[in-house]
Amino acid sequence: MVKLNSEYKCFGGKLGFYSHFSSNCNGEMRFAVYQPPQATQKPVPVLYFLSGLACTEENFMVKAGAQQYAAKYGLILVTPDTSPRNTGIFSEDDDWDFGSGAGFYVDATEELWASHYRMYSYVVQELPALIANNFPVQSDRQGIFGHSMGGHGALVCALRNPEQYKSVSAFAPIAAPIHCPWGQKAFSGYLGSDRESWRAYDASELVKQVGYHSPILIDQGTADQFLAQQQLLPDVFEKACTAVDQPLILRYQEGYDHSYYFISTFIEDHIRHHATELQIL
């Protein structure tokens, strides 16, 4: 059962914030949905956005300025929260980059986390089924994109489920998590010490194994502090794409950082990219 917590008119459509009980995450999960005005007349394509570390379902909807372009192109936007919350796991809130707000879009296998932290299955299976049952979406026309940790999640979800996701893009994704401190910390905690199992959630490994059926768009700011700290590693993903002739549009945006100021500057380009691949344009 979906609970509507709040709703607002926005660019001729409506933005709602919702909660429900998740069987995958074994507790309450929250998400937001923007329905463009076109959705009152007929089902429309749906675009999922996965947010980054320490974010909730609200950040993208409040800061990205995406609703006007979703209304322009006729797309439903869906943003889930970034992790389960209030699970009772004693260390859940100890670190900003692990646990609450930092689900990393994996299905945890380590005992402490496995009963709640199943964000991969939640995003790929449970949430789309919930959206299809409650909102006027064309389920055969889904795209996915994200930022930072969510960019990692979007790439992994699309690469592993190319028939489900017709389009993918990312802002400053954690593109090779098995090689960066954020990814190593998260994967060790959620997946354990067997690094071979980590490959299933690393876009730079996956693209070499399975590829993707259409061009991947990535924007990366050159003044991003996490680029300098070797947390994002877009060059590793670029090399992996080159090795298998995967079409990649990797744009380095001069002077932009990791913030939503960066995202809001290029958000229309990304929504247009998805509209093209979803055959809206």
Beta-carbon count within 10 A of 197 CB: 13
DSSP code, position 226: H
* Active-site annotation holds for 148: yes
Find the catalytic residue in 22, 148, 169, 204. 148
Q: What residues are paired with 19 via a beta bridge?
A: 3, 30
Residue of 258, 270, 273, 274 marked catalytic: 258
Which of left, alpha, beta for 104 (phi over 0: left; psi -120 to 50: alpha)? Answer: left
Which of these is catalytic: 224, 270, 273, 274? 224
Question: Does 219 qualify as catalytic in the annotation?
Answer: no
Give, in degrees to the nearest 5, the angle at Cα 82 between 142 and 108.
95
Map residue 218 onto helix, strand or coil. strand
Residue whose C-alpha is closest to residue 159's, from 146, 172, 270: 146
One-letter identity of residue 208: K
Helix axes 203-210, 149-160, angle to 10 degrees: 20
Backbone φ and ψ of 68, nearest 5°: -65, -35
Query: Which residues partner with 62 through β-bridges?
Result: none
Report CA torsion sign: 134, 139, 143, 149: positive
Residues catalogued as catalytic: 148, 224, 258
